Amino acid sequence: MSEHVISSKLYYGIWIALMVLTVVTARVAFIDLGPFNTVVALVIATCKALLVVLFFMHVKYASEKLTKLVIVASLFWLLLLLLLSLADYGTRYARHG
């Protein structure tokens, strides 16, 4: 099994991207997007998770099948979270009034 060496510049670049996405998440939390606040927050969180998984966990340099599996699983998980969150949001007021 060959080991891939990643430059420290790339690690710093990814760290900066994660920090920027964290600030964007905090800023978007104060903007009223209606039911899409959760959607936007989860999309940003998924992007951050993909960066961590692909680079810090070295999945990007693993086999193509594993990379595709991680991406598909991440998108499936995001879709599942969105559907469950929006289902709860959509039925929340129907139960109380």
DSSP string, 2-65: ------HHHHHHHHHHHHHHHHHHHHHHTS--TTHHHHHHHHHHHHHHHHIIIIIT--TTS-HH
Tally of domains in the chain: 1
Q: Is 30 inside a domain boundary?
A: yes
In which domain, by residue range, is 78 found?
Answer: 8-96
Dist. CA 48–CA 33, nearest whole Å: 21
Q: pTM of the prediction? A: 0.63
Which one is predicted more confidently, 95 or 37?
37
Q: Is 48 inside a domain boundary?
A: yes
Dist. CA 81–CA 75, nearest whole Å: 10
Q: Is 16 inside a domain boundary?
A: yes
Q: Is it the case that residue 1 has pLDDT exceeding 60?
A: no
Q: Is 3 inside a domain boundary?
A: no
Q: Is 1 inside a domain boundary?
A: no
Name the band, by pLDDT with cuts 50, 70 and 90, for residue 94: low
Q: Is 2 inside a domain boundary?
A: no
Distance, C-alpha 93 to centroid of its chain: 28
